[in-house]
């Protein structure tokens, strides 16, 4: 087993936190409460801070790039399906001859199964983004809850499309050690991103695209979203994707799904 394998990284993090916690207890027993406080804070930070960093690899592998010798990028679309956005997004992708991966929310997939099937039938991928997408609390989820969220979403995808998911993206890209461990046990590859325009808030498509393009290079994984937001105009999601694909094309880039780019043989990077 490699020293810095995902499992060993989790063990080392737990060990560091435990050592610091033990030091805090010894300092408190000796009456050095200020030192005990500092050690306790450091022990907590060893576990908490990596959990709150998007795409953190402290607890396990996260793919943020894919290997390609061509000007290709991977467009990933989170939080669907959505009754207004998904049909418009599929139309835009079709108009540009682009492929994408949709990281779907399980309860949405069950609510609009025809949209989940449309994603697959039009040659795109549908992957796991938890069942409820409770972003405010999922980062602190314990193993049983993590397992349930992942299994229910896998089941929703299988039930509606007959497809087995093999990739997973945590809500807002933050995950504790349990998330990494459960995803690995389920045979799911954790997928992050390397370029985003922060379109999870009301936005102007042009500004989102400008932010994304700053980090676009061959093999980049691009994150955008579907779904409604307070203050977000109807049709903006599709407009953002259309503007992005036009700019990518102008710069010589093609949007592909890596597993389809070279007949399933494209290796992924960013996993260390």
Residues assigned a catalytic role? 78, 225
Q: Is 235 left (phi over 0), alpha (psi -120 to 50) or beta?
A: left
Helix (H, G, I), strand (E, B) or coil at 71: coil
Strands 268-269, 65-66: pairing kind: antiparallel
In degrees rounded to 5, what are phi and psi of residue 3? -55, -40
Length of the chain measured in residues: 272
- Which tokens sit at 79? 């939080």
Rounded CA-CA distance 241/2 in Å is: 40
Alpha helices in 30-163 (DSSP H): 33-51, 85-96, 106-111, 113-121, 135-138, 143-161
């Amino acid at each position: 087993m490699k020293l810095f394998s995902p499992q060993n990284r989790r063990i080392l993090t737990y060990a560091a936190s435990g050592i610091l916690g033990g030091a805090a207890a010894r300092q408190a027993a000796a009456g050095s409460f200020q030192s005990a406080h500092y050690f306790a804070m450091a022990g907590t930070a060893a576990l908490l801070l990596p959990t709150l960093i998007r795409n953190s690899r402290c607890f396990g592998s996260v793919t943020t790039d894919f290997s390609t010798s061509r000007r290709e990028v991977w467009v990933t679309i989170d939080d669907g399906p959505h009754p207004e956005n998904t049909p418009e997004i599929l139309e835009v992708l079709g108009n540009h001859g682009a492929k994408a991966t949709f990281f779907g929310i399980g309860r949405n997939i069950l609510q609009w199964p025809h949209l989940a099937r449309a994603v697959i039938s039009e040659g795109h991928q549908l992957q796991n983004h938890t069942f409820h997408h409770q972003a405010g609390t999922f980062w602190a989820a314990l193993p049983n809850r993590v397992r349930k969220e992942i299994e229910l979403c896998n089941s929703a995808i299988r039930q509606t499309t007959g497809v087995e998911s093999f990739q997973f993206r945590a809500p807002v890209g933050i995950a504790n050690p349990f998330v990494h461990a459960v995803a690995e046990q389920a045979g799911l590859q954790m997928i992050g991103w390397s370029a985003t325009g922060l379109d999870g808030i009301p936005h102007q498509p042009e500004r989102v695209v400008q932010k994304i393009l700053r980090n676009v290079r061959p093999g980049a994984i691009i994150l955008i979203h579907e779904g409604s937001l307070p203050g977000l105009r109807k049709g903006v999601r599709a407009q953002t994707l259309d503007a992005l694909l036009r700019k990518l094309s102008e710069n010589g880039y093609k949007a592909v799904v890596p597993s389809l780019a070279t007949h399933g043989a494209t290796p992924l990077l960013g996993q260390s």
